[in-house]
Copies of this chain bind each other. A is one copy, B any other.
Amino acid sequence: MIRIGIFGATGYTGLELLKLLGRHPAARIAWLTSESSAGQRFGDVFAVPPPLGRQTLIPSAAADCASTDVVFCCLPHVAAQTHVAAARKAGARVIDLSADFRLRDAATYEKWYGHPHQHSELLDEAVYGLPELHRAAIAGASLIANPGCYPTSIILGLAPLAGAGWLAGTIIADSKSGVSGAGRTPSLKTHFVEANENLSPYSIGRTHRHLPEMEQELGISESTNQRIIFSPHLVPINRGMLSTIYVSLPAGVTEGQVREAYAAMYAAEPFVYLLPKGQVATFAHTANTNYCAIGLTFVPDTSTLIVTSSIDNLGKGAAGQALQNLNVMFGLDERTGLI
């Protein structure tokens, strides 16, 4: 059995993780932390059936990392760093779902997140936890930086083009996300009456914090005159994410070549699937799963390719991917607990 601790279990990512782990034959929950709900049972915080709700939440100070094989960290960025470092020191392998270890460069981190990194010494050992790009490194890693939801949908949607060297100029990624991506802390923006029957762009252009990890993983940089314009939109749905991505292909690159590149990269992937020609990805293609579905639409008489890339923001965009990483790290069938 794999003994598991979870820091920050009472957000939507923690809830989803616990549901998935409940079906995983090799997982055993050792402890769950919550500062605000310490002393309560998990079932006091969420309306879950008894088997999921029995565990009593403990404060993070009481968490014994040494007694676990792996620690999931579901805390917000900055807060995550300290606990990740402590868990590593105690010898546990760590899957961090925050943004704290996704950027390889501490200066870039500070620029985007507004805080100097407190544990930059761990950046070297951190592996960006997208199995489709870094499977081998994940298998041997002690610290996984689980990707953000938007980056997962966009990187998987563009990786075959990046691999072939076909990304150039300005790429437009217009993304739509369900509200669970904004977390569980009440706010006016996520108040039911404000979000329902509404749709809102936010942080559009080049201001959203998920941008640098996309560009890092796709090898995009302004120095080569490449950039992503990224526009997230909040849609009145609990969970789901779609990125509609507009790419201007280099002259001479054919539809056939592009389709082949995608097929080559994803044919053996258990959780990425290409839609047949003529189909576009929708939220429904991946709802409540760990899959990413990708559609390719070529605009006739132009060089424009439109990639539609769908994931569940709590599945492949967070907890599902974290569990997939766990499976890779522990040499299990990658689909365990996820199908």
Shortest beta-carbon distance, A168 to chain B, in Å?
14
Is A134 among interface residues, defined by CB-CB distance under 8 A? no
**Residue A224, interface by CB 8 Å:** no
Shortest A5–chain B CB gap in Å is 22
| Beta-carbon contact of B282 and A238 below 8 Å | no
- Report whether B22 and A339 are in contact in the complex, using a CB–CB cutoff of 8 Å: yes
Whole-angstrom CA separation of A282 from B286 in the bound complex? 26
Q: Is A306 an interface residue (CB 8 A)?
A: yes
Interface size on A, residues (CB 8 A): 72
Number of copies: 4
Q: A49-B273, A176-B176, A199-B282 are in contact. List 13 more A-B contacts (CB 8 A).
A: A22-B339, A47-B284, A172-B172, A174-B174, A191-B192, A192-B236, A196-B196, A197-B237, A198-B282, A204-B297, A206-B299, A227-B302, A229-B246
Partner-B contacts on A (CB < 8 A): 12, 22-23, 47-51, 170, 172, 174, 176, 179-180, 184, 186-188, 190-202, 204-206, 222, 227, 229, 231, 233, 235-240, 242, 244, 246, 248, 273, 280-289, 291, 293, 297-302, 304, 306, 308, 339
Can you give 9 contacting A-B residue pairs, CB < 8 Å? A186-B190, A190-B193, A193-B238, A196-B238, A198-B237, A198-B282, A201-B281, A205-B299, A227-B302
